[in-house]
Amino acid sequence: MQLTTMAWRTLMRNKRRSVITAFSVAFGVLLSVTFTASSDYAYTNMINTSAVMGLGHLSVEHPDYQDTPTLDKRLLDAEAVQQRALQTPGVTAAQVRIMGQAMFASGAKSVGGAFIAIDPGQETPAHNIFLRTLVEGQCFSADEEHGVVVGAKMAEKLNLRLGKKLIFTMTDKDGELVSELGRVSGIFKTGDDSVDGAVVLFPLALARKGLGYEPNAASLVAIFLSDHRAAKTIKGKLAGLWAQRPDIGVLTWQESQPDLAGLIAVDRLFNYLLQFLVGLVIAAGIMNTLLMSVMERQWEFGIMMALGMMPGQVVRLVLLESCWLGLLGLALGVIITTPWFLYMARIGIDFSGQIGKDYSAGGVLVDPVMKFRLYRESAMCIAAAVFSLTMVAGIFPAFKAGRTTPVENLKQG
Amino acid sequence: MNNTPLVQLENVSRIYQQGKVQVAAVTEFSLDVQAGEFSVLCGPSGSGKTTILNLIGALDEPSLGRVRLEGRDLAELGRSDLARLRRDRIGFVFQSYNLNPVLTACENAEFVLALQNIPKAQRRQRVMAVLAEVGMAELAQRRPDELSGGQQQRVAIARAIVSHPAIVLADEPTANVDSATADAILDLMVRLNQEQGITFLFSTHDQRVMDRARRLIHLRDGRLEHDEVRG
Ligand SMILES: Nc1ncnc2c1ncn2[C@@H]1O[C@H](COP(=O)(O)OP(=O)(O)OP(=O)(O)O)[C@@H](O)[C@H]1O
Ligand SMILES: [Mg+2]
């Protein structure tokens, strides 16, 4: 007789109790998947959205640019950096950009803001949220030397329409004030007013000319990855390529967007804590069930130990029961969670009625549709955590059973 | 052939502490049991029968005195040595609820053999032979709740003897069955004793059981009252 079989039959002896307990484990799986998958989805979304707002998943830039983003800090061979980056596995796109502060003026009005100078021949909506959210006109073409794309809010503030002139003033690489003239070719609307009121796109060539940059110079190369989770690894690879270049630094999105990274870290921590607490409540329930079952079986343990079973074997038997309970719970969990997960992964729940269409957090637009996405490692983590909690819940009852002394329990009456 | 008694109790006392009162369950009790005996501990309720069986069966320790089994002083053995000793040298039959409810009759009977790590095929063979011996071969696949009290006791006896122990200790094995069943169980034990030389020591206060014994150890208040050996 194998202990494993015995443990299973013991569990099935009180089917109702075992199934109810297993369902509480399954419910834990469902909750855990709900929490984790909705945040895995939301984080991925936020990270990818933030990446397409300018800096990419990784940005290659002058090592001092992050701390003091003045326009004298620049990469001198941005195109070469871009080419090397594109050869790295996991990189889906790399864009050369110049980013900085400027004053924008039209007629009598002016506002401060930020510009992103891009190569119109290379940028695509896929990696540029402003081109993705154009509401009027289009991006300037490669031969529109003075084309600009402005946000809807700025257009409103400065009374801009397509074809209108926009004057922008910035400090060049030597600290001198320079002004350039642009003509509005497109207007975007991301939905975030602080972005729509401040960001202006214009051609890379115009920025280079105005700032006095060398022909291949740029503030950064924004790199996009097929999976943001690879950021650290790929940063390591790229940094290795330029180990001998003190003028080139690589930052992950966490480093270039510490606010977002912090927000996600705190949210994730809170999430884990919540899940852990739910887990504890469930574990307490499991422990209670096992303890009850152990108490009811004192006589049986007494007999088995009288017959020569070792305390360690009794402990193993009860641990195997909790192991079965964990597996049963996981199996039920998968059964009840799968349809819910599939629905949420494909369709999701639209919260735009509750939170509005243009909700942003940490400076990043948040998708109002709650959907699920579960990373493989998250799924394994949930399975491992649920299973270990069940096992941990079994430890005390198991030792309780192992401490049974045969004589005390064979006294009749 | 050495003639060391199988069981030796030397001046054994077992005193229970019950709150502030001390209860002497067994007092200065000495007893030798030889291999091949068919002996009965008898006496009124509370006279110490179960306590003595527990002491011999290495389930309990004496407060004073010495218990030897096959010449070995049990006080010198550790917890796991005692467990091994019970597994290999002693067969137990309790008054009731002997069997594990999740195991079939067959699995219950082979429980001790499984603890001894005897290979499954060999286990099955031995168990089926013994179940046939006690008349339970047909019902081998039933669970305890599908068996009568007498049938359960037969399975318990099968489990006690299948590992070829030095002695089978049975605490009122017939107390919870009707008299016809009790007779059948006794017949079985007598036969196993006569045919296979298995040593039995059991307790009872049932007169009909006492009539079948070859040695009657009378107890009163935890002391030996009379040790009666019959032809
Ligand atoms: N765990 C214990 N704690 C305190 N006293 C005990 C304990 N076990 C037994 N006793 C006492 O020891 C005495 C002997 O008990 P024991 O169970 O050995 O008697 P018995 O002859 O088997 O009785 P019965 O025929 O009722 O089974 C009784 O007075 C009993 O109350
Ligand atoms: Mg008794």
> Which CATH number covers residue B208?
3.40.50.300
Q: Which residues pair with B67 in a beta bridge?
A: B9
Asked if the Cβ–Cβ distance from B107 to A299 is below 8 Å, we say no
Q: How far apart are CA B218 and CA B220, in angstroms?
A: 7
ipTM of the complex as predicted? 0.92
Domain boundaries, chain A: 3-49+261-411, 63-247
The atom of ligand 1 lying closest to the CA of B53 is 18
- The answer to whether residue B162 sits within a structural domain is yes
Q: How far apart are CA B32 and CA B69, in angstroms?
A: 10
Q: Closest by alpha carbon to B112, among B90, B141, B134, B94?
A: B90
- What pLDDT sits at residue A360? 65
Number of structural domains (chain B) is 1
Taking CA atoms, A405 is separated from A396, B59, B83, B98, B168, in Å, by: 16, 8, 11, 16, 20
Q: Which residues of A touch B111 (CB under 8 A)?
A: 1, 304, 307
pLDDT higher than threshold 60 for residue B1: no
Give SS3 for A70: coil
Chain B: give the shortest CA distance to residue A20, in Å. Answer: 20
Confidence of residue B179 (pLDDT cuts 50, 70, 90): confident
- Do residues A322 and A397 lie in contact, with contact meaning Cβ atoms separated by under 8 Å? yes
**Within 10 Å of residue A187's Cβ, how many Cβ atoms?**
25
* Spans in chain A with pLDDT lower than 70: 1, 355-366, 408-413
Contact (CB, 8 A) for B49 and B219: yes
Closest ligand 1 atom to Cα of A412:
27
* pLDDT reported for residue B133: 86
> What's residue B18's pLDDT?
86
Digit-coded pLDDT (tens) for A153-176:
999 999 999 999 999 999 888 888
**Sequence letter at residue A53:** M
Return the pLDDT at A369.
Answer: 82
Residue B22 beta carbon below 6 angstroms from any ligand 1 atom: no
pLDDT for the residue A341: 94
pLDDT value for B26: 94
Could you please report the per-residue DSSP string of B187-201?
A: HHHHHHHHHH--EEE
Question: Which residue carries 């009850």 as its tokens?
Answer: A292
In A, which residues are within 8 Å of B52 by CB distance?
Answer: none
**Domain housing B76:** 7-229
Judge if the beta carbon of residue B49 lies within 6 A of ligand 1: yes
Rounded to whole angstroms, what are the CA distances from B13 to A298, A318, B135?
27, 36, 40
Three-state DSSP state, A105: strand
Cβ neighbours of residue A208 closer than 8 Å, sequence gap 6 or more: A98, A117, A214, A215, A217, A218
| pLDDT for res A54 | 86
Share of chain A above pLDDT 70, in %: 95
Q: Which residues of B106-120 are buried (b: 16+ CB within 10 A; e: fewer)?
A: bbbbbbbbbbeebee
Q: Report pLDDT for A363.
A: 58
Tell me, using a 6 A CB cutoff, whether residue B27 lines ligand 1.
Answer: no
Chain B nearest-CA distance from A235, in A, is: 57
Residue of B nearest to A305 (CA): B83
Q: What is the pLDDT of residue B41?
A: 95
Q: Give strand pairing partners of A136.
A: A187
The pair of three-digit structure tokens given for residue B150, joined into one six-digit string: 């007498």
Q: Which residues of B touch A406 (CB under 8 A)?
A: 59
Flag whether B2 is in a domain: no
Q: Do B83 and A310 touch (CB under 8 A)?
A: yes
Report the residue among B50, B55, B224 best suited for mutation to probe ligand 1: largest number of ligand atoms under 8 A from its CB.
Answer: B50
Testing the interface with A: which of B77, B100, B159 to mutate, by most A Cβ within 10 A? B100
Say what percent of chain B tops pLDDT 70: 99
pLDDT at A356: 67
- Could you say which residues from 316 to 355 on chain A have a Cβ atom under 8 Å away from some Cβ of chain B? none
CB of A412 within 8 Å of any CB in chain B?
Answer: yes
- Tokens describing residue B16: 């229970």
- The nearest CA of chain A is from the CA of B231 a distance in Å of 33
Residue type for B178, please?
D
The answer to whether position B1 is within a domain reads no
A407 CA: nearest ligand 1 atom: 1
B50 vs A contacts (CB less than 8 Å): 411-412
pLDDT at A413: 40
Put simply, the answer to whether B103 touches A406 (Cβ < 8 Å) is: no
A282-328 per-position pLDDT tens digit: 999 999 999 999 999 999 999 999 999 999 999 999 999 999 999 99
The CA angle A277-A280-A286, to the nearest 5 degrees, is 150
Distance B50 CA to ligand 1 centre (A): 7
B23 lines ligand 1 (CB under 6 A): yes
Q: Is B16 in the pocket of ligand 1 (CB under 6 A)?
A: yes
Chain B residues at the A interface, defined by Cβ less than 8 Å, are: 50, 54, 57, 59-60, 79-80, 83-88, 92, 94-98, 100-103, 107, 110-112, 114-115, 159
- Chain B residues with beta carbon closer than 8 angstroms to that of A311: 79, 83
Average pLDDT, chain B: 91
How, if at all, do strands A364-366 and A359-361 pair? antiparallel
Task: Give the distance (Å) from ligand 1 centre to CA of residue B171.
Answer: 13
Report the percentage of chain B scoring pLDDT > 90: 72
The answer to whether B171 and B53 have CB atoms below 8 angstroms apart is: yes
Q: Which residue has the tokens 């089917």?
A: A15
